[in-house]
Amino acid sequence: MESHAEFLRLVSLDEKLAAALRRDYREADLSKLDRAMLDYVAQITRDATKITAHDLDQLRVAGFDDLAILQINLIASWFSYINRVADGLGVGREPASREGHE
């Protein structure tokens, strides 16, 4: 998460926005479109099995078409996947002691 926030800060040059998103995206000053997208992405991240037709309709009401919804879904799902791969390999953490594993 920290690396994503740092990337956003560097790309957007908006430290205030990056800090707000790092704390809680729901408290950040976002457009209706961005808020709807992040609500959907947060639900995918927490538990994608709870996504309903209503969630997809909320994205459409906000202004996303079906292709954009697919792209949001694919990107969020890919990040969830790759974060789990990195976590499972200990990427970004202090190496665990190898004692007893040789």
- pLDDT above 90 coverage of the chain, percent: 51
31-92: which CATH number, 3.30.70.141, 3.40.1410.10, 3.40.50.300, 1.20.1290.10?
1.20.1290.10
pTM of the full structure: 0.72
pLDDT in tens, 61-86: 999 999 999 999 999 999 889 888 98
> Smallest Cα–Cα separation from 22: which of 9, 40, 32?
9
Q: Is the dihedral of CA 30, 33, 35, 37 positive or negative?
A: negative
Domain span(s) for CATH 1.20.1290.10 in the chain: 31-92
